[in-house]
Amino acid sequence: MSERQHEKMIIIGSGPAAWTAAVYAARAQLEPLVYEGEGSRTMIPGGQLMFTTEVENYPGFPEGVNGINMMAAFKEQAVRFDTRVVTEDIVEVDFSVRPLRLISSRGTELEADTVIIATGANARWIGLPNEERLAQSGGGVSACAVCDGALPHFRDQVVAVVGGGDSAMEDAIYMAKFAREVVVIHRRDELRASKIMQDRAMANDKIRFQWNSVVTDVRGGDVITGLELRDTVTGEESELEVGGLFVAIGHTPNTDFLGGRVALKPNGYIETPTAWRTATSVPGVFAAGDAMDDFYKQAVTAAGTGCMAALDAERWLAHGGVEALEGEKVTAESE
């Protein structure tokens, strides 16, 4: 007899996709178990919305909603329907066997009839040694302005934000509340951000743009004192004195723990072979949210795919799940 803890459904993640999947699965009496994660320097339970002050584009909140409050409400709704939650990571999976096998960060061995992967994506860093050192030591480098920007260290300072998308504009606007000046450093001469976010940033007198520039080094011992820049057009090098650096250059999907057990796209996002479906390359394993969405990356679309994944998993189980697979195998062999 197996000593592994057996579950009908395990959901990995704790963002909009995971909690929406949990709500649907719990209401369908699938008794979901959610592994919400332990958290790290750039990722905490609740996902990227935990780093967002005001969410203005999620339906149902005409005045906007605080990202932390929003995720707390998502979780509360899932728990209301008896969703169980474990604050651990899933660190290893084996999807070549039935039931599906998983191991948690604290060594718990599990097996499940079906799994929904909704692990989201993690903030991307420039990759400079001093950047990483100062980020780890709390020396004024961060990938989350909302998390760290209100700290006394950054007040009345000149701070830099690296990036050209919506996240960078949101970070710049947020930091303008505290900093003396915010310098947005972007490698091109135009932004990728949505028009409304560009307009907001450009209308703020405390925000200026350093176009066609990349950061080549971060200066400072215990705390950041400045940046070394290179012009992407002329190659000219320059220095910028800053008291803080916020990196907002995109995200990497949290899929490494899968160990190749599920087919991924070349960029690391989970592949879903059939359009508008959440089924992965492994029968009984479904994907939702930013771990599989490399195009939209919105809270509302993440929640939508969470709903889809739960419904897909429910239907897969209702149609026999593993038994259906075994039946297909027998039929194929007899032919």
Question: 224, 302, 335: which is closest to 46 by C-alpha?
Answer: 302
CB atoms within 10 A of CB 130: 18
Q: What is the DSSP letter of 47?
A: G
Tokens of 185: 């450093």
In order of 76, 132, 225, the CA distances from 221 in angstroms are: 43, 13, 8
* pTM of the predicted model as reported, rounded to 2 decimal places: 0.79
Among the listed residues 89, 113, 144, 293, the single catalytic one is 144
pLDDT values of the chain reduced to their tens digit, one per residue, 335 residues: 347 899 999 999 999 999 999 999 999 999 999 999 997 766 789 988 887 667 888 999 999 898 899 999 999 999 999 999 999 999 999 999 999 999 999 999 999 999 999 999 987 899 999 998 998 788 999 888 877 888 888 999 999 999 999 989 999 999 999 999 999 999 999 999 999 999 999 999 999 999 999 999 999 999 999 999 999 999 999 999 999 999 999 889 999 999 999 999 999 999 999 999 999 999 999 999 999 998 888 899 999 999 999 999 999 999 987 665 555 543 444 44
Q: Looking at domain 5-122+251-334, which CATH architecture does it have? A: 3-Layer(bba) Sandwich (3.50)
Instruction: Calculate ∠ Cα 237-240-246, nearest 5°.
Output: 115
Q: Looking at domain 125-247, which CATH architecture does it have? A: 3-Layer(bba) Sandwich (3.50)
Alpha helices in the chain (DSSP H): 16-27, 67-80, 129-137, 145-148, 166-175, 195-202, 299-318, 322-334
Q: Alpha-carbon distance 252 to 330, whole Å? A: 41
Q: Alpha-carbon distance 298 to 318, whole Å? A: 30
**Predicted local confidence at residue 318, as pLDDT:** 95
> Is 307 an active-site residue?
no
- The structural domains of the chain, with segments of one domain joined by +, span 5-122+251-334, 125-247
Instruction: Calculate ∠ Cα 107-19-251, nearest 5°.
Output: 80
**Predicted local confidence at residue 208, as pLDDT:** 98
- Asked if residues 109 and 94 have their Cβ atoms less than 8 Å apart, the reply is no
173-209 as b/e, with b when 16 or more CB fall inside 10 Å?
Answer: bbbbebbebbbbbbbeeebebeeebbebbeeeeebeb
> Is 147 an active-site residue?
yes
> Is 144 an active-site residue?
yes
Question: 155, 157, 154: which is closest to 140 by C-alpha?
Answer: 154
**Predicted local confidence at residue 49, as pLDDT:** 83
Q: Alpha-carbon distance 277 to 279, whole Å? A: 6
Tokens of 268: 């690391």
Same fold, 5-122+251-334 and 125-247: yes
Give SS3 for 81.
Answer: coil
Among the listed residues 82, 89, 113, 147, the single catalytic one is 147
**Predicted local confidence at residue 139, as pLDDT:** 93
Among the listed residues 82, 94, 113, 148, the single catalytic one is 148
